Chains A and B, each alone.
Chain A
Amino acid sequence: MGYIEKNIKDIREDFPILSRPGFIYLDSAATSQKPFVVLEKMDWVYKNLNANVHRGIYKIAEDITEEYERSRKEISGFINASESEIVFTRNTTESINLAAYMLLQKLKRGDRIVTTLLEHHSNFLPWKKIAKIAGLNLELVKVTSEALIDEEDFEKKIENAKVVAFTHVSNVAGTIVDVKRLARKAKERGAFVLIDGAQATPHMKVDVSNLAVDFYVFSGHKMLGPTGIGVLYGKKDLLEELEPPFTGGEMVKEVHKDGQSWNDVPWKFEPGTPNYVGSIGLAEAVRYIKKIGIDQIETYEKKLSEYLLENVGNIKGLRYAGPKNNRAALLAFEIKGVHPHDVAAYLDMKGIAVRSGWHCAQPLQEELGFSNGTTRASLYFYNTFSEIDKLRTALEELVNIV
């Protein structure tokens, strides 16, 4: 037994919401629950250290600034980047939008952007938007029936592409993409490469120094942190070269009537008062994950994922999205003759929280033939095998009713 299996009871007690009687939370791909340490840290900061960062010269203003920048260091270390490469945003969606507007200055009419059919809407719509603004061509790489990236099509489309953006882990199909290999291929063709890591950083070791990427983006709230804090990792040289798309306070050194000089990276991309308490909360979440061990999390979730597939994936009349192996610990499925919302409503009655609908990936689900969307159970390291058993029992009951 690994560390998590041995300590699962104590781990669950770290999360206040998990003590709700009869509550089974299987919606961590939407957002994760938060441990006491994160909540207490943020509470403590607001009660004891609250002042605007990078401004006052009084004691707590300096202390909070130091704490804020320490959080950047903690988070940069988690993905093996340097502090100046971590731009704080609100979430993954904002990170991708920001990257798209940053890259806009490098693109000209007729240039090609490539993304894939595997994406969350947030790694599709921002590119569509800038394509429209600048007259760029956007192309989508096909996926196979198992929701793997069609590599032949990928090779063809990345030829002469200026931007290549794709996900690390699919939020619907659970596909784990070989980003190391595919990013290198795109980089070798000279494209700017962005990886959507929203469903990866909470669950597996990510080392950006080992990836041929220009941008890597993720959200805090899916990895035990608070809502409203996200990260845009960008290669330092590129960040230094690019102009900030958004301007205002905090991101500037000097402003005169006839000119100004931008702040250094990463601050020049963070206009306005930042969500410093969110950053500090996220850093505390990272410390908690490190204490459990990201490798332990990955190993344990692999077992959960296999157990989920073996016990829920084979229910009569159930069809799931995605590959048969090497998947994230989530399962999006449809049950013949039952609308996904009805499945979710039935599970809710049993105290089981799942998501139903399009999961912000309508093109993918339509491509895979889920015309009404799916119901999705998504797990994190605080979930247990017995919760999967309860999910199976409830689904079998439902199949018998309808």
Chain B
Amino acid sequence: MSYFFYENVMDHYKNPRNKGKPDSYDTEYGDSNPTCGDNVKIYIKIEANRIKKIGFEGNGCALSMASASLMTEMVDGESLDNALKISEKDLMNELGIKELGPNRIKCVALPVKVLKMAIISYISKQNS
């Protein structure tokens, strides 16, 4: 079945959560999928190694945008360690999607990758 009929996907696509750049943030990261041009940028405000505020900007298909929106909800308030554990599979479960082909999984993977890179770059800056 197409993801068009998953309520969660269309809900997050049409009413994205945490969309936009926060007024202040401690780390940011953006990337795109070269095959389809989907792009996502994530901004995170961090306090005591927890996500205090998270926002995203992006442009892409319903699946990639819904994944980004849902992911920001899932990690909001979480410790950085917990946020680093999130996977494509978690997002798919939450969206109610059982299976995705190799091309479409990239749409879910992009926000996950961007989140992790934003956190890793924050941690490495703290450590240096």
Contacts and interface: CB of A to CB of B under 8 A. Distances in A.
B128 interface: no
B12 to A, nearest CB: 13
Contacts of A358: 37
Contact of A339 (B1, B3, B35, B60): B60
B37 A373 contact: yes
B2 interface: yes
Interface residues of A, number: 14
B61 A342 contact: yes
Given A339-B60, A339-B61, A341-B61, A401 B36 contact: no
A339 B62 contact: yes
B62 to A, nearest CB: 5
A341 B2 contact: no
**SS class, residues of chain A in contact with chain B:** helix
A346 interface: yes
Interface in A82-120: none
A365 B4 CA distance: 26
**SS class, residues of chain B in contact with chain A:** loop
Contact of B4 (A340, A345, A372, A373): A345
Contacts, number: 35
Interface in B48-93: 59-63
Contacts of A340: 61
A348 B63 CA distance: 15
Given A346-B2, A349-B2, A357 B61 contact: no
Contacts of A349: 1-2, 4
B94 to A, nearest CB: 20
Interface string A340-357: 111001101100000011
B7 to A, nearest CB: 12
B1 to A, nearest CB: 8
16 contacts: A339-B60, A339-B61, A339-B62, A340-B61, A341-B36, A342-B4, A342-B61, A345-B3, A346-B4, A348-B2, A349-B2, A356-B36, A357-B37, A372-B59, A372-B60, A373-B37
Interface of A: 339-342, 345-346, 348-349, 356-358, 372-373, 401
